[in-house]
Amino acid sequence: MGAPDQIDHQVLSDAADWFALLRSGDAGPQDNQRWQQWLTQDPDHLLGWQLVERIEQQFMAATGDHPEHTEATLQQARHNRLQRRGMLKGMGAALATAGLGWFSWEQTPLPQVAASWGADLQTGTGEIRQWTLADGSQLWLNTASAVNTVMEGPIRQIQLIRGEVLIQTGNDPRPLVVFTPQGELRPLGTRFSVRRDAHETFLAVYEGAVEVTTRHQQHRVIERLQQTRFSDHRIAPTAPTRVTRQAWHRKRFIAEDIRLADLIKALGQYQHGYIQLSPQIADLRVFGGFPLDNPDQALSMLEKALPIRINQPLPWWTRIEPAASR
């Protein structure tokens, strides 16, 4: 039996089609028999089926849905969106197109997730929250983020465990240090955001300046309206950043002539499940402000403004296609 990332895309396509059909309520006895035959034809068929099942289980676990509630939701979705059998076709192509995207979603950075469970401050998927710290600093956590804070002692400390944080420093004269696995950041009276990625840290400075020191003692001061990335041994060249980039703390995403694919990637971080975008429309340009706390509304806004069509075969599956697609 092959590894999950070695499954043929056609097998994944077939597995997704079978899953959608069997869960839609439209399958008859002959469909069930043909599914059983398909399942036993090749070991990879079973592996593909198990992968699709695992995706739904992760969605249910992440959203807290009870199986009965999920079934009711699926039935409602069938009445509302699966009027035609043709809606089911193409789910496999979506999974095949998603390809490694599904495997990446499945392989969450578990150490970060586990550590965030006991964090001082944390947010869930789609949640954005603000805190006022004991030193008067303002702190916002983006979706699925977590930090530990220590405000006592000669040095104020913030440890970014997961996700992204926006900080507006207070008037406390003691030094403030933000720690990530790649190094530390010392704000010089400032407003800035820090995001922890897989193997590096992203920094954007909106006011003042921030001194970066990597674990291997590389130093650089990042000035206002500049951004950079750094690993434990290297700081990348700076690039301009926009003040509007921090709009997420107001639960808005400001699109200023960006690709539709980039906007969909951003919106996907604020909801459970998967958004599959057709490559044919990935390069459409987008302008405007979109609500991060209501992804469905954001998608509806896009559908009205762009030549696209949005449908949702299952609660955890959203497809965005060209409007002329049939």
Alpha-carbon gap, residue 302 to 297, rounded angstroms = 9
* Rounded distance between C-alpha atoms, residue 157 and residue 148, angstroms: 8
Neighbours of 123 (CB within 10 A): 22
241-245 long-range contacts (CB < 8 A, ≥24 apart) are 241/204, 241/205, 241/206, 243/206, 245/193, 245/204
Each residue's pLDDT, cut to its tens digit, for the chain (326 residues) gives 444 445 565 676 677 777 777 776 777 888 888 888 888 888 888 887 777 777 666 555 555 554 444 444 445 444 433 433 343 344 444 444 443 333 333 334 545 555 556 788 999 999 999 999 999 999 999 999 999 999 998 999 999 999 999 999 998 999 999 999 999 999 998 999 999 998 999 999 999 999 999 999 999 999 999 999 999 999 999 999 988 999 999 999 999 889 999 999 999 999 887 788 889 999 999 999 999 999 889 999 999 999 999 988 777 778 899 997 54
Question: Which amino acid belongs to residue 173?
Answer: P
Domains and CATH numbers, the chain: 4-106 (no CATH), 111-243 (2.60.120.1440), 251-322 (3.55.50.30)
For residue 187, how many other CB atoms are within 10 A of its CB? 23
Q: Which H/E stretch holds residue 298?
A: helix 295-305
Classify each residue of 26-57 as buried b or exposed e, where b means 16 or more C-beta atoms within 10 Å of its C-beta. Answer: eeeeeeeeebeebeeeeebbbbbbebbeebbe
CA distance 273 to 63: 9
Rg (CA), the chain: 23
Give the pairing type, strands 156-168 and 239-240. Answer: unpaired
- Of 302, 298, 271, 275, nearest to 286 by C-alpha is 302
> DSSP labels for 178-235?
EEETTEEEEESS-EEEEEE-SSSEEEEEEESEEEEEETT--EEEEETTEEEEE-SS-B
